[in-house]
Every structure is written in C-alpha cells, then in structure tokens.
Structure 1
Amino acid sequence: MSNEISEDSRLERADALGLATARTLIVLHSGAMLAMLTYIGGNSRESAIAIQTEAIISAITYFSVGTALVLIALALSYSYTASAPGQKWSIFWAEWIIPLNLVVAIGSTALFFSGVHAVVAGIEGR
C-alpha cells in the first residue's frame, strides 16, 4: 500500500474544495444581501441604529459583484470540465482555471469584507 496520493484523487479533492469554497462565498454574499434587505424592511425612525443609504447601496453592490464573480468562475469551470480534452478551450483553461478561481475567490472574499466595512462605516447612532 502506497502513501502517495494519486493525481486523480488529488484533483477530485481540489474540485470538491473549490465547489465548497464557491458555495460558501455565494451563501456569504447572499446572506449579507438578505440581511441588508431585512434591515431596510424593518427599519423605523425609532431604531437606535441607522445606516446611511449610500452605505447600504455600496454594500449591496459589493455583495452582488462578489456573487457574480463566483457564478462566472463556476460557469467557466463547468465549461472547462465539460469540454473535450485536446480542444483549444480545454488546453488554454487547463493552465489557467485554477489560478483564475483562486483570484476570484480572493477577490470575492475582499468584496464581502468591503461590503461589511461599508455597512459598519455607515452606521450612525440616533
């Protein structure tokens, strides 16, 4: 029995981890947008905390762009996986799909924290 991990096993685990990361980012961004919309729906003049409208708009924009980036990366990853080996598309993405997904994951995470920052910076006490 060998301690070496086969290349197929390694790629399967990387694929599963990538999908889990994408799902997590989508849930984070979607949950944050839902929280913002819930705040807007339940906000009243008597609330102890108010968030500036510009901050809410900025945050929802950050969360939306972060979600869109992840969805685009998922679509590209799927098209790479579904393409036949040896095609120009497949050969090109074989080299670039993992770095692209890494950059998208980092960018999407940064957009999430930017959205949170926009909300926190826009809080004003009443």
Structure 2
Amino acid sequence: MQVFHNKSKVIITCNKRLSPYLQEEVIALGYTIERAFATGVELNITLTECIKLNLNLRCASQILYSIKSFKAITPDDLYQEISAIEWEELIDFTGYFSVTSNVDNPNITTPLFANLKVKDAIVD
C-alpha cells in the first residue's frame, strides 16, 4: 500500500505534563518535531515510521496518522469527503476499524453523530 510510504501529519498524544518527556523520546529516536503542545507533539512522517514509534514510545497515548484534512460545514459535507477516500486500499474487506471524533461545528453537535456519518461513508 502506498500509504505506508507517504509522509503526512502525525499527532502523538500523551497525558498532560508528559509532553516534555515525549519530546525527548521522539528526538532520541531521530525524528524532528514540527510542533509541540501540552498534550503531545506533531510530526511529518510515514505510516511505517508510526509503527516504529508505536513500538518504542513509552509516554505516548495515541499515534494519529492524518489520511485527509478538510472542513465540513454540514453532515453531508462530512459524508462526501469521507466517502471520497479509497478505503478499500486502506482497510481489508474483512478488516476492523473504529471511529472516534471531536466536533466543533454548529451543524454537527455531537461526536456520536459524526462517528455515525463517518462509519456510513466508509461502509457505503
């Protein structure tokens, strides 16, 4: 899969007050931090490099690889943008996926609704 070799924005999250230690771990592994914040860091790396980080980081909570970035004004915008991604290239037909989200939108007021729209777009 090509996604394993494409660089993208990656957010590595951690608990509050652990960010300085996470930064040390990431730098010690040879990566350049694009941005640091109170609950994590941002890098520009491949999915293959994410696997290495998953195996070596002790302070990290999650490693989030950005597949696509867009603004969705309405639930239909969200559905259209998600359905445009070639999911069959990323997830095996018999594979498993989960969706978690945070929302800050007057038209999509609950993460549960956003999760449902995303799942519908992927499955359809």
Determine if the TM-score, normalized by the shorter chain, exceeds 0.5.
no
Query: More helix by proportion, 1 or 2?
Result: 1
Query: More strand by proportion, 1 or 2?
Result: 2
Q: TM-score, normalised by structure 2?
A: 0.21
Q: TM-score, normalised by structure 1?
A: 0.21
Larger Rg: 1
